[in-house]
Amino acid sequence: MTTTNLPVLFLTDLVVLPGMVVPIELDDAARAAVDAARSHSDGKLLVAPRLDDRYASFGVVADIVQLGRLQNGDPAAVIKADRRVRIGSGVSGPGTALWIEVTELDEQTVTDDVRALATEYKQVTIATLQRRDAWQVIDQVNKITDPSQLADLSGYASWLTDEQKRQLLETPDVAERLGVLIEWSKAHLAETEVNDKIATDVREGMEKSQREFLLRQQLNAIRKELGEGEPDGANDYRTRVEEADLPEDVRKAALREVGKLERGSDQSPEAGYLRTWLDTILELPWGTRTTDSTDVNAAREVLDADHHGLDDVKERIVEYLAVRSRRAQRGLEVVGGRGSGAVLALVGPPGVGKTSLGESVARTLGRKFVRVALGGVRDEAEIRGHRRTYVGALPGRIVRALTEAGSMNPVILLDEIDKVGSDYRGDPAAALLEVLDPAQNHTFRDHYLEVDLDLSDVLFLATANVIETIPQALLDRMELVSLDGYTEDDKVAIARDFLLPRQLERAALTADEVELTDAALREIAADYTREPGVRQLERLLAKALRKATTKLAGVEDPEKTVIDVGDLREYLGRPRFTPESHERTSVPGVATGLAVTGLGGDVLFIEANAGPEGGKPGLTLTGQLGEVMKESAQIALSYVRAHADQLGITDPSVLNRHIHIHVPAGAVPKDGPSAGVTMVTAITSMALGRPVRSEVGMTGEVTLNGRVLPIGGAKQKLMAAQRAGLTTVFLPQRNEPDLDDVPADVLAEVEVVLTTDVADLVAKAIEPASESVSAAA
């Protein structure tokens, strides 16, 4: 067996078998492989499928027949597969292509058994092609005498899956390959025969239905001649439409459809569609609107009673009410019309009360409330409805929400709008552009209804965890209100005023039987949970009360149970979260950064290490870092190398070793530029051999010149620093306006140091030489 080195082209959506001629769209990797083949391997390259869980063990050697472009202008190449080879290990080669060592396979002897299998497979293949009327292909199959070539011709078979073709590619033995193909082809042929029989039966059934329709039409004509009249169903719909409180254009459209129903037959398939459409139109609350409560003070009291904090969104709702109240007092139009609606997007981490806030807003306004869950919706028809021509067509979720609410001015909560997907059925986010635009939604048109629907008086509330996944055009149509999580004091107040009473009621307890002290609540919020919301906090309260209920079971006259800090281990176990920045930063080369995720703010430890002297210089990055974060690491290392003297590094040779930067946790993807200053600090700490102060956190983008640029999410990051027990946070100078939004109790516990130069930040963040030496001693 001989071996040779060839550039490799991996294909994800195509399996190529020997003898096949196929066009290949050229991306960057494919272009590199084709160029390498033309320049260094006589136009030959290795083509192999890309598997999900392993590397392919076999591929084909292919020749480049022609280079050109597809109809859409994209570059492409036509390749012809020659022979099957075994794939070895990767080798170095010229160019940017990946080179692989391949091993030629020994020729196989064609025995009588193999010829018999080939004859049987040819018969099954020809029988299958005859059912498809593929006579030209049958002629080509008849001309093939080589069993291996006949088996590999199955690469063109449309009824074989890619996985089956991969199995054929990785089966070099001709007899085994033919045996598998015979089994698959016979099964497909049997399935095709069954499907053809079913299609014939269906066609005959349709012809029978047409005969029945014709006879029923004749029967109706006979009944009309006899004066027996017709069913009064259509007349009933006309009466309902005329008596309903419909807009004029909707009334005309409905009467037009009633006319079609009257002229048609009750047995006509269209009659069922017309009745369903008319029922949908008549069920919509066209003339029904609830009267808004315009008492601003009462509205604020309701919002405060339902939710603690969340001042931004409460103020926005109160402002909305105040404007409507003033317009009503001055006799101006209050409902309906272009641009009169409101669309708010509540963005924040899970558990801060976004969804429940929608119900409170509806109760404040005195409106109906409907929740529309958008998480995972991928079909545009879910928003705009299906065309009436489809069987089982329905209106979209917006129309169904209005029907469910029973009024034209409800509060509609579009839950999890950031998790809307898209596929071949369209993009639901694009359909929401008209729904959520106050300048357009007064003439919203559902595909099923095909009449204008006024959504201008609907109050839309959208909730999301992150705004990055919301299309920019859709985000531009909504007024953004950020909910950045709760402070420790907020959580204690929420637990005392909202969560604990609710869980006491669910556990069938009263405040006279079980009491949790404020100190215990603070301990739970600080050491047993680390979340921006309060969902886990409520679960822990429920757990403690369940244990208390268990202890009270069977006791006739129990004393009041008081759960204090010292009792928490008995009821909840050990604390799950304790400040770890002191432990993590006790060695040089580790710095504490701050980040924002879909779950709110969080601390991020960045570790830097240097390889042994004499090793190959370079930079290794681990921890599932995105491209922006990788660039930040390269910028940080370049800055430290260029400004070693300014940073006090007396032995810059350590920076010329192989540097390894790791960002735990390795299983969590991370990206963004705000870790730049943290990476500079970690590398400098490693080079100086002095640890970073354990109580310090930092965030900021860094430039090659050492400038500290502003970042996003300053409020969430400072709240995360407080939860993690940090007392000093370095923040870019240009983020100073963001401090106005940070709760006062957070600023009281965390000292914010504004900086513009990363060298000053590093000097203040790293332990002085004398202190680090004494700490090491």
Q: For residues 713 and 185, what is the distance between their CA atoms, to the nearest angstrom?
A: 60
pLDDT mean over 168-189: 88
pLDDT at 60: 92
Q: Which residues of 104-135 are buried (b: 16+ CB within 10 A; e: fewer)?
A: eeeeeeeeeebeebbebbbebbeebbeeeeee
For the stretch 537-582, pLDDT in tens is: 888 889 888 888 888 877 777 788 888 888 888 888 888 776 665 6
Q: For residues 694 and 377, what is the distance between their CA atoms, to the nearest angstrom?
A: 45
Q: For residue 128, what are the β-bridge partners?
A: none
Region of 43 (left: φ > 0; alpha: ψ -120 to 50; beta: rest) is: left
What's 505's domain CATH number?
1.10.8.60
596 is in an annotated binding site: no
Contact 690, 588 (CB under 8 A): yes
User: What kind and span of H or E run contains 620?
Assistant: strand 618-622
- Three-class DSSP category at 8: strand
Q: Is the pLDDT of residue 774 over 70?
A: no
pLDDT at 341: 62
Contact 591, 685 (CB under 8 A): yes
* Tokens describing residue 241: 């439409």
* Tokens describing residue 693: 């102060």
For the stretch 649-674, pLDDT in tens is: 888 888 888 889 998 876 678 778 88
Helices and strands, counts by H and E, the chain: 28, 24
353 is in an annotated binding site: yes
Q: For residues 227 and 223, what is the distance between their CA atoms, to the nearest angstrom?
A: 6
Residues 522 and 632 placed together within one structural domain of the fold: no
For the stretch 125-160, pLDDT in tens is: 888 888 777 777 788 888 888 888 888 888 888 888
For the stretch 251-263, pLDDT in tens is: 888 888 888 887 7
Q: Quick check: is 199 in a domain?
A: no
Contact 716, 601 (CB under 8 A): yes
Task: Concatenate the DSSP letters of all residues of 145-191 into one string.
Answer: --HHHHHHGGGG-TTS-HHHHHHHHT---HHHHHHHHHHHHHHHHHH
- Three-class DSSP category at 712: coil
How many Cβ atoms sit within 10 Å of the Cβ of residue 648?
15
Q: For residues 739 and 718, what is the distance between their CA atoms, to the nearest angstrom?
A: 9
Please report, for residues 366, 483, 698, the alpha-carbon distance to residue 621 in angstroms, rounded to integers and kept in the order given: 56, 33, 20
- What single-letter DSSP state applies at residue 576? S
Give 366's Cβ-side CA count (13 Å radius).
Answer: 11
Residue 623 structural domain:
581-776
Contact 600, 717 (CB under 8 A): no
Please give the angle made by the CA atoms of 67, 72 and 73, to the nearest 5 degrees: 45
Q: For residues 353 and 463, what is the distance between their CA atoms, to the nearest angstrom?
A: 10
Residues 567 and 595 placed together within one structural domain of the fold: no
Strands 58-69 and 44-49: antiparallel
Q: Is the pLDDT of residue 334 over 70?
A: no
Q: Is the pLDDT of residue 730 over 90?
A: yes
Task: Concatenate the DSSP letters of all residues of 548-559 into one string.
Answer: HHHHHTT-SSPP
Strands 514-516 and 561-563: parallel
Q: Quick check: is 609 in a domain?
A: yes
Residues 377 and 432 placed together within one structural domain of the fold: yes
Per DSSP (E only), the strands in 488-548 are 514-516
Amino acid identity of residue 128, one-letter, is T
Residues 770 and 714 placed together within one structural domain of the fold: yes
Q: Quick check: is 150 in a domain?
A: no
Handedness of CA 132, 135, 140, 142 (dihedral sign): positive
Residues 403 and 338 placed together within one structural domain of the fold: yes
Q: For residues 1 and 713, what is the distance between their CA atoms, to the nearest angstrom?
A: 62
Amino acid identity of residue 319, one-letter, is E
> Which residue in the list 41, 360, 456, 674 is annotated as catalytic?
674
Q: Quick check: is 131 in a domain?
A: no
Active site residue 89: no
Task: Concatenate the DSSP letters of all residues of 47-115 into one string.
Answer: EEE--SSS--SEEEEEEEEEEEE-TTS-EEEEEEEEEEEEEEEEE--SSSS-EEEEEEPPP----HHHH
Q: Give the 3-state DSSP-derived string for 663-688, with helices as H, strands as E and coil as C.
A: CCCCCCCECCCCCHHHHHHHHHHHHH
588 is in an annotated binding site: no
> Which residue in the list 154, 632, 717, 772 is annotated as catalytic?
717
Q: Is the pLDDT of residue 328 over 90?
A: no
Residues 556 and 585 placed together within one structural domain of the fold: no
Residues 322 and 462 placed together within one structural domain of the fold: yes
Q: Give the chain's mean pLDDT.
A: 83
Contact 761, 708 (CB under 8 A): yes
* Residue that finishes a domain, picked among 73, 89, 104: 104
pLDDT at 731: 92
* Residue that finishes a domain, picked among 41, 69, 104: 104
Handedness of CA 122, 123, 124, 126 (dihedral sign): positive
- Name the CA radius of gyration of the chain, rounded: 36
Contact 728, 696 (CB under 8 A): yes
Q: Grade residue 729 by pLDDT with cuts at 50, 70 and 90.
A: very high
Q: For residues 12 and 324, what is the distance between their CA atoms, to the nearest angstrom?
A: 58
Q: Is the pLDDT of residue 197 over 80?
A: yes
For the chain, give the number of residues.
Answer: 777
Edge-to-edge strands, sheet with 459-464? 369-373, 411-415, 459-464, 342-347, 479-482
* Tokens describing residue 310: 């969340």
How many Cβ atoms sit within 10 Å of the Cβ of residue 59?
26
For the stretch 576-600, pLDDT in tens is: 776 665 666 778 888 989 888 766 6
Residues 542 and 399 placed together within one structural domain of the fold: no
Active site residue 456: no
Edge-to-edge strands, sheet with 728-732? 618-622, 658-662, 600-610, 590-597, 696-698, 728-732, 751-755
Residues 354 and 433 placed together within one structural domain of the fold: yes
351 is in an annotated binding site: yes
Q: Give the 3-state DSSP-derived string for 285-306, with helices as H, strands as E and coil as C.
A: CCCCCCCCCCCHHHHHHHHHHH
Q: For residue 561, what are the β-bridge partners?
A: 514
Q: Quick check: is 504 in a domain?
A: yes
| Domain count for the chain | 5
Q: Quick check: is 116 in a domain?
A: no
What's 726's domain CATH number?
3.30.230.10
Residues 540 and 564 placed together within one structural domain of the fold: yes
Q: Is the pLDDT of residue 362 over 80?
A: yes
pLDDT at 773: 44
pLDDT mean over 687-707: 89
Give the distance from CA 448 to its chain's centroid. 28
Whole-model pTM above 0.85? no
Q: For residues 448 and 451, what is the distance between their CA atoms, to the nearest angstrom?
A: 9
First to last CA, the chain: 65
pLDDT at 333: 57
User: What kind and span of H or E run contains 610?
Assistant: strand 600-610
485 is in an annotated binding site: no
Contact 408, 448 (CB under 8 A): no
What's 378's domain CATH number?
3.40.50.300
* Residue that finishes a domain, picked among 225, 255, 283: 283
* Tokens describing residue 637: 């290392």
Q: For residues 429 and 169, what is the distance between their CA atoms, to the nearest angstrom?
A: 42
339 is in an annotated binding site: no
349 is in an annotated binding site: yes
Query: In degrees to the nearest 10, what's the CA dihedral of 156, 158, 164, 167?
Result: 0
Contact 165, 155 (CB under 8 A): yes
Residues 525 and 620 placed together within one structural domain of the fold: no
Q: Quick check: is 73 in a domain?
A: yes
Q: Quick check: is 493 in a domain?
A: yes
Amino acid identity of residue 435, one-letter, is V
Q: For residues 25 and 9, what is the distance between their CA atoms, to the nearest angstrom?
A: 11
Q: Is the pLDDT of residue 524 over 70?
A: yes
Percentage of the chain modeled with pLDDT above 70: 93
666 is in an annotated binding site: no
Contact 731, 593 (CB under 8 A): no
Residues 397 and 473 placed together within one structural domain of the fold: yes
Q: Which residues contact 250 (CB under 8 A, 6 or more apart)?
A: 281, 286, 451, 452
pLDDT at 80: 92
